[in-house]
Amino acid sequence: MIQPTLSPDGNRFAYTTGSGLTEVMDIATRTRTPLVPQVSPQPQVSRPFWSRDGSKLMVVDNDRINPRFREGYNKLRIIDIASKSAVFYPVGPAPAMISDRTEGAAAWSPDGTTVAFISDSVLKLMPTNADGSPSGPAVQLTTEAADMPSWQANSQTLLYMASGKLKKIKADGTGQEDVPLHLSYEPAAPKGRTVIRAGALWNGLDPALQR
């Protein structure tokens, strides 16, 4: 189970498996429902995001150019839970694509109107319909290298990483600011000196251990 995500009603969670399969589990019954496998032979799919009504999932998957080669474009993949069917949507004309398929690849806003993603190392936004299909072209939100976008609950502000710092910015591109991290924890340093030695060693050649 990789990157589980709780549904809007709190009754289910979606996740991917080590083989790239997207599944949904009912918490009360503990019933697993396999939905769709990954398309690429490389078993890596992004964290799933729920639609506002809980009927669909959005993941980032690799849409292969043809069955002969594993190469393709990282696109949004909308999965209908009831029918177990999926549709790919590009984020722009080829060769535009989402940078990767990791946890921080993309994030669907809680209100279901916008998807944030990383492409060409910068943060971009694309408006979406309720079913996850694009309703307009993607727009660039930042000029600096960005990663790991996530939405505030009001769908108006994003948090992301840039050059080792946490930053936030409004969806209209204003209000960009650093988020200070007051990390004061320091690991306890041991006192004195402890020597650890091997009681016996096998050199890989002789039948007997060296002591």
For residue range 66-76, list pLDDT tens digits in order: 667 767 788 99
Specify the CATH superfamily of domain 2-178: TolB, C-terminal domain (2.120.10.30)
- Cβ pair 99, 121 in contact under 8 A: yes
**Residue 73: what pLDDT?**
83
Cα dihedral across residues 136, 49, 22, 166: positive or negative: positive
The structure's pTM equals 0.79
Question: Alpha-carbon distance 12 to 92, whole Å?
Answer: 32
Q: What share of the chain is helix, strand, coil (3-state, %, to 5)?
A: 0, 40, 60
For residue range 81-140, list pLDDT tens digits in order: 999 999 999 998 888 898 887 777 899 999 999 999 999 999 999 999 999 999 999 999
Tokens of 67: 């069955």
The full length of the chain comes to 211
**Residue 171: what pLDDT?**
95
Q: Is the pLDDT of residue 2 over 80?
A: yes
Indicate the domain borders of the chain.
2-178
**Residue 95: what pLDDT?**
82
Question: Alpha-carbon distance 88 to 208, whole Å?
Answer: 61
**Residue 104: what pLDDT?**
79
For residue range 133-163, list pLDDT tens digits in order: 999 999 999 999 999 999 999 999 999 999 8
